[in-house]
Amino acid sequence: MAVKFDETRRAGELGVRTEANGNAIVVRAFGEIDLASAEQLHVELCRAHADGASAIALDLSEVTFIDSTGLGVLMKAVTLSSENGKRFSIRPQLSAAVRRTLEVAGMVQRLPFAA
């Protein structure tokens, strides 16, 4: 079953919208990624991986907060993409708060940011 695109799903303070972009899927998150909402992002990334697209791009430009639970979801997405052969990248446009959290956690070098 194909992923239904262009539908926004919400969990707590997080909204996630999955869109088709050619042969790629763009997952756009907006709001806060925390213990209450990280599972929604994980579900959407898994749905995107299950689709036939060759690449998945994660847009976090409108995320205002991310905690360690959200960081774990990002690492799971990296692992999942390496296991199923899909290209996964995070768009480099980040809010200052998210960029700072990634820097403090030492994850900027470990995550696949798009060029």
Residue 41's CATH number: 3.30.750.24
pLDDT in tens, 70-99: 999 999 999 999 888 889 999 999 999 999
**Domain annotation covers residue 52:** yes
**Domain annotation covers residue 115:** no
Specify the pLDDT at position 21. Answer: 83
Average pLDDT of the chain is 89
Distance CA 9, CA 34 (A): 16
Specify the pLDDT at position 52. Answer: 75
Number of domains in the chain: 1
Specify the pLDDT at position 1. Answer: 37
Domain that holds residue 72: 7-104
